[in-house]
Amino acid sequence: MPATSVKNPAGPFTGLLVIDLTHVLNGPFGTTILSDLGARVVKIEPPGHGDDTRTYGPFVGDQSLYFSFVNRGKESVVLNLKDPADRDIFLNMVRQADVLAENFRPGTMQHLGFSYEELAEINPRLIYASSSGFGQTGPLAHFAAYDTIIQAMSGIMDETGFADGPPTRVGTSLADLCGGTFMFCGIASALYAREKTGKGAHVDVAMFDATLAFLEHGFMSYVATGAAPTRIGNRHPFMAPFDVFETGDKHIVICCGNDHLFAQLCNALGLPGLATDARFLTNSDRIAHQAALKDALQSALKAHLSEYWQSVLHEAGVPVAPLLNVAEAAQLPQTLARNMLIEAGGVQMPGNPVKISGYDDPKVRVGAPSLNQHGDALRREFAAHAQAANVSA
């Protein structure tokens, strides 16, 4: 591997060169998965301040966590893709690359002269991944999109919240993250296909499509009834009891997905009669009378503190959990045991959720690059490739 490469741990994608033209969150999230799994990812940034998220808070010192969380382990070079000399550097990278990822509005790459068809002429094995708000086709293809736009249009915002409250944005950038995850899936799939065909491919992922695919219960309800689901708060639409409950001090979550678990819950709470109550005999009965069921359970649960009920219900084999905030979840022993709180570039961040036997999952990883940190070395490296190609020709 060239001396310019950051020293990421080996992974299943070691040896792959990824050109990362993505910016903000959707695309960088997907290319960070490639980096975490061993790929060499070269992030190309525009002149000026680079990726917009370098200017977004929160900050640790002068380091944007918004940028750092989804750009760790990458190399950075500033290229002006409208400048002839920089275009030559970029095209030299394309000749060597396995993957190019971009998340511009459809038409931008074509306008620059870097469409999939044009770059495939240069490198037929190239996997060219495009992730955008609405995809490369369809009447909304050229619409601008951010995460909240997609959440609003996909239906997920309308179905999130309580019946007496307004539509609510999911508490994370779900559409961005879904799009980035599916972009990674598409790249990995196309790389596998290339092993058999020898040919590259264009991967087209839309944040809108990705979010629709994650709707699950809402889409099930629509297919079954032809109508949009109503907001129901924290409870499950098709199983009961499956909800957040108050105890004597804190909230806990209880999930009973079948009649056996419901009976175990009733016995543990000292309410065996609920299991034989005609209103609650089956899951369908419990859904039909969920408000009365919650009131009965809630009355018993408020008699003791959350730690007591967690112990009692765990002992009874009933799925139960505390309702934690982000700080509590980050410090949970399970989080630490799974190496999901790591350090990269001197700051803490979520680790790599993909654990693969035979590959290290280090607690300390290479951080996100400063703007143009590897620019000089990368320019020399890919200019050298061009000279070698000219000599061989």
Q: CA 213 to CA 154: how far, in whole Å?
A: 10
Residues with a catalytic annotation lie at: 236
Count of alpha carbons within 13 angstroms of residue 134, beta-carbon side: 13
In a domain, 118, yes or no: yes
In a domain, 94, yes or no: yes
Is residue 133's pLDDT more than 80? yes
Q: Do 125 and 265 belong together in one domain? A: no
Torsion 283-289-291-295 (CA) sign: negative
Name the DSSP class of 192.
Answer: H
* Boundary-marking domain end, from 278, 304, 327: 327
Taking the CB of residue 241, how many other CB atoms lie within 10 A of it? 27
pLDDT in tens, 202-250: 999 999 999 999 999 999 999 999 999 999 999 999 999 999 999 999 9
Is residue 391's pLDDT more than 50? no
**Domain around 101:** 17-215+339-392
CATH of the domain at 364: 3.40.50.10540
Q: Do 199 and 54 belong together in one domain? A: yes
Q: Do 168 and 43 belong together in one domain? A: yes
Q: Do 354 and 299 belong together in one domain? A: no
Beta strands in 232-368 (DSSP E): 242-246, 251-255, 320-322, 341-344, 347-350, 364-365
The distance of Cα 384 from the centroid of its chain, to the nearest Å, equals 36
Torsion 372-374-379-385 (CA) sign: negative
pTM of the model: 0.94
Q: Do 200 and 271 belong together in one domain? A: no
Mean pLDDT on 135-143:
97
Q: Do 350 and 319 belong together in one domain? A: no
CATH of the domain at 279: 3.30.1540.10
In a domain, 188, yes or no: yes
Which residues lie below 8 Å from residue 165, measured CB to CB, with a gap of 6+? 231
Is residue 3's pLDDT more than 50? no
3-class secondary-structure state, position 161: coil
Name the DSSP class of 52.
Answer: G
pLDDT at 328: 98
Q: What letter represents residue 191's amino acid? A: L
Q: CA 77 to CA 90: how far, in whole Å?
A: 10
Pairing of the two strands 75-78 and 40-45 = parallel
Strand order in the sheet with 347-350: 347-350, 341-344, 364-365
Beta strands in the chain (DSSP E): 17-20, 40-45, 59-60, 63-64, 75-78, 99-102, 127-132, 201-206, 242-246, 251-255, 320-322, 341-344, 347-350, 364-365
In a domain, 29, yes or no: yes
Among residues 31, 198, 12, the alpha carbon closest in space to that of 99 is found at 31
Backbone angles phi, psi at 14, to 5 degrees: -60, 135
Q: CA 229 to CA 237: how far, in whole Å?
A: 9
Segment among 88-92, 129-133, 372-376, 380-384 with least mean pLDDT: 380-384
Q: Do 141 and 279 belong together in one domain? A: no
pLDDT in tens, 328-362: 999 999 999 999 999 999 999 999 999 999 999 99
Question: Considering the chain, what is the average pLDDT of its residues?
Answer: 95
Work out the burial of residue 215: count CB atoms within 10 Å of its CB; fewer than 13 is exposed, 13-18 middle, 19 or more buried: middle
Q: CA 123 to CA 174: how far, in whole Å?
A: 34
Q: Do 64 and 134 belong together in one domain? A: yes
Pairing of the two strands 75-78 and 63-64 = unpaired
Taking the CB of residue 6, how many other CB atoms lie within 10 A of it? 19
The percent of residues in the chain predicted with pLDDT above 90, rounded, is 95
Name the DSSP class of 153.
Answer: H
Q: Do 359 and 321 belong together in one domain? A: no
Tell me the helices (H) and strands (E) count for the chain, helix number first.
Answer: 17, 14
Q: CA 152 to CA 210: how far, in whole Å?
A: 14
3-class secondary-structure state, position 14: coil
In a domain, 9, yes or no: no
Considering its fold, how many domains does the chain have in total? Answer: 2
pLDDT in tens, 94-126: 999 999 999 999 999 999 999 999 999 999 999
Is residue 1's pLDDT more than 80? no
Q: CA 74 to CA 22: how far, in whole Å?
A: 12
Mean pLDDT on 268-274:
97
